[in-house]
Amino acid sequence: MGTITRALANNITTGGVVSASGISNTSVSAVTSLPSGVDVGDFVLISEQTASADASLSFTSGLDSTYDAYCFRMFDIHGSSDGQLFTFQGSTDGGSNYNTTITTTTFEVYHNEPDDTAAISYQSNQDQANGTSYQTISNSCGADNDQSLCAELWLYNPSSTTYVKHFMCRTQHYNDNNYSFDFYTAGYFNTTSAIDAIDFKFGSGNIDDGTIKLFGVKKT
């Protein structure tokens, strides 16, 4: 049995400490799936932010050469305005500007509550080709009291000054028209400058509630 499987089998949890033979105790929230070659014990919590009617959540420290990859995990992100897209952008100047050139591809899978509409589709209107806008990582999100968004965004080797910076994100959210959306985004920051800050926000309105945690991930 692999390390990850063993950890989950020995301690199925939605948060807290995951322990297994050969793995040091590490605080990992909502473990779901990990890329090949990454062990649960390799996740190190760097920082976390909890929203309270904030226009955005910015991570302006902790992204450096310490780790080979970084993972942002988003828990129950709830917006103040109905039907808004959740987005992010990177900075090369410590968060003074969030306008780094991006190229991406996006697609989504959806299914509604009445069980009469379901599909998978490429989202050409939500990708970018050397654009500098905030990158969409969701479809329109609901703002009802019970509606929220959860996601996992990976950023690889952001401190490199040789290569562009690749990222990928998977988002599950409750749509404003009562759809379940599984939204996929992948691409790269088209710059050889280090990415040292990331900002998250809705297209309009505040982030009323929700937590984003930043983890560093060691190469195994």
195 neighbors 217 (Cβ within 8 angstroms): no
Beta-carbon contacts of 36 under 8 Å, excluding residues fewer than 6 positions away, are none
β pairing state of 197-202 and 57-59: antiparallel
pLDDT at position 28:
41
Measured CA to CA, the distance from residue 66 to residue 155 in angstroms comes to 13
Q: Which domains does the chain have, with CATH numbers?
A: 1-31 (no CATH), 38-217 (2.60.120)
Amino acid at 42: D
The strand pairing partners of 176, in sequence order, are none
Give all strands (DSSP E) within 62-203, no chain letters: 69-79, 86-91, 102-112, 118-122, 129-131, 135-136, 149-156, 165-174, 179-189, 197-202
Q: Tell whether pTM > 0.85.
A: no
Show pLDDT as tens, one digit a residue, over the chain (220 residues): 443 333 333 433 334 433 333 434 444 444 445 555 555 558 899 999 999 999 999 999 999 999 999 999 999 999 999 999 999 999 999 999 999 999 999 999 999 999 999 999 999 999 999 999 999 999 999 999 999 999 999 999 999 999 999 999 999 999 999 999 999 999 999 999 999 999 999 999 999 999 999 999 986 6
